[in-house]
Amino acid sequence: MKKYYITTPLYYVNYKPHIGHAYTTLAADVLARHLKAKGESVFFQTGTDEHGGNIEKAAQANNVSPKKWADDISQEFKQMWKTLGIEYDYFIRTTDENHKIQVQAIFEKMLAQGDIYLGNYKGLYCSSCENFLDKSELIEGKCPVHKKEPEEINEESYFFKLSKYEKPLLKYYSDNPGFLAPEYRANEIIRFVEGGLNDISVSRTKVSWGIPVKSNPNHTIYVWIDALTNYITGPGFELGKESEKFKDIWPADMHLMGKEIYRFHAVIWPAMLMSLGLPLPKKVYAHGWWTVEGEKMSKSRGNIIDPRELVAEYGLDPFRYFIFREVPFGQDGDFSKEAFKRRYNGELANDLGNLFSRTVNMINKYLDSSMPEKPENSVLFSKLVETKKDIEKDMDSVQFSSALDRIWKNISLLNREVDTRKPWEMAKTDKEALKKFLHEMVWCLRLISSWISPFMPSTAAKMQMHLSVSGRPEENKKIEPLFPRKQ
Ligand code: MSP
């Protein structure tokens, strides 16, 4: 059976990982966990993008070789993913030998078939983007992203015939309406392609830290051509060979990325695949950007959020919960510690935490150790089950905040039930009714725990342990709160 293939961008190793990188990788992890729980087989790949002038400069500034620098930072990324509970299947580095060999071979193939040709590049170049800029993109003469003046350059360069793929791309977009996602991003891409595609420069003579063009090693291959190719080299693509592993994984089902690199994924990458004669991914999904208290995160502003600090203060699961509850996946969002704390105390400590501890305390007090069969004719349980389809649909389509909203509506419903049915009074008046009610609650909470599991795996496991038939803690008379309140 073909695996569901999820990717994140390969992150540059010029700076250590932060909340922005964590966001995409956690999204991939949440989706992977959700699909695995449904019984799907999943291949989840992430990694690091290690070539290019910026990385060379970062290494120089730190007095180490680019390779040593890349080794250290990619290790930091791996460490970060471990801290955040991310269970990827494969971590690819663009300095991996096998990747380099395939990138070179692919370049030569495109060259041989005329999709890459040698020419001359004359124009503007932003070394921070590592990209050529068109005059029309500049704002007050400066790069719109890095706010600095681009250099004028004139150099020999290989070009990829992107122009040739204008019509095939437009046809693909129109034949595959789900490909560009979220839907509201499709227009921008379609308008861009309809506006006419220029061939793009795909080699550099000035950047030495890169994969050399095999037939002309004065040139190194442009970082983006190198990096995008990871999506096929990771799962084992080998030019000219049929690999079973590759066939079980490719095409990707979900390429996830931030909106700033959407064009690379929605235009250049599919054109490269067309040139290679490979099937195209099912979906390219761009999410929005996190700012911090209204500002762009940057080294110079000193406002870069390191998830490790938040995890140390609040715990891992609350962090994983917060970033997906706070902002609809796709839109921009602003990170504020105030908002985090508010949601932590409100939705986690109060709504879920209290519901869980008061229910488990009652279970331990009033029920014998055996756990109940699925309740029949429970209106409450049926009400929850009714929402399952929509929650799953949201999860399948990475609408995480909407899924969490639905789950929390159910949690509120359960809290209201406890408040209105007053089980502590039933304990005095009607033991049978109490038992039935608690049985219903056990099943409802089991359902809640399964829904929150992709976001908060250890909280879900803790809940399930207390609600399980066997393996319940001996000393569960007094349970620890799931989320201790923060002052
Ligand atoms: N190396 C390229 C990607 C090559 S993919 C074949 C690159 N690297 S990056 O280190 O700059 O990572 C960019 C990605 O990190 C974004 O697309 C997004 O996934 C994530 N984010 C980095 N900062 C972010 C925010 N402030 N907010 C949300 N996501 C952000 O581009």
Q: Which of 69-73, 124-128, 326-330 has the lowest mean pLDDT?
A: 124-128
Spacing, Cα 241 to ligand 1 middle (Å)? 32
Task: Reduce the DSSP state of residue 350 to 3 states and report it.
Answer: helix
Confidence of residue 370 (pLDDT cuts 50, 70, 90): low
Residues designated as active site: 18, 21, 126, 129, 143, 146, 296, 299
Please determine, for residue 43, whether its predicted confidence score (pLDDT) is greater than 70: yes
Please determine, for residue 475, whether its predicted confidence score (pLDDT) is greater than 60: no
Please determine, for residue 421, whether its predicted confidence score (pLDDT) is greater than 90: yes
Please determine, for residue 290, whether its predicted confidence score (pLDDT) is greater than 60: yes
If one compares 396 and 479, the residue with the highest pLDDT of the two is: 396
Q: What is the mean pLDDT of residues 440-467?
A: 96
Spacing, Cα 394 to ligand 1 middle (Å)? 24
Query: Tokens 């220029």, residue?
Result: 198
CATH topology of domain 311-466: Isoleucyl-tRNA Synthetase; Domain 1 (1.10.730)
Angle at 327 between CA 325 and CA 328, to 5 degrees: 95
Atom of ligand 1 nearest to the CA of 290: 27
Can you read off the two tokens belonging to residue 385?
């089950």
Which pLDDT score is estimated for 476?
A: 58
Atom of ligand 1 nearest to the CA of 256: 19
Per-residue pLDDT tens digits for 155-168: 999 999 999 999 99
Question: Which residue puts its alpha carbon closest to atom 6 of ligand 1?
Answer: 228
Question: Which residue puts its alpha carbon closest to atom 7 of ligand 1?
Answer: 11
Please determine, for residue 373, whether its predicted confidence score (pLDDT) is greater than 80: no
CA–CA gap between residue 132 and residue 113 (Å, rounded): 25
23 lines ligand 1 (CB under 6 A): yes
Q: What element of type H or E holds 117?
A: strand 116-126
Question: Which residue puts its alpha carbon closest to atom 22 of ligand 1?
Answer: 20
Which pLDDT score is estimated for 120?
A: 94
Predicted TM-score of the model (pTM): 0.96
Q: What is the mean pLDDT of residues 381-385?
A: 97
Q: What share of the chain is helix, strand, coil (3-state, %, to 5)?
A: 50, 15, 30
Confidence of residue 478 (pLDDT cuts 50, 70, 90): low
Atom of ligand 1 nearest to the CA of 259: 17
Q: What is the CA radius of gyration of the chain?
A: 26
Which pLDDT score is estimated for 130?
A: 80
Per-residue pLDDT tens digits for 137-183: 899 999 988 889 999 989 999 999 999 999 999 999 999 999 999 99
The domains of the chain are located at: 311-466
* pLDDT > 90: percent of the chain: 84
Spacing, Cα 233 to ligand 1 middle (Å)? 20
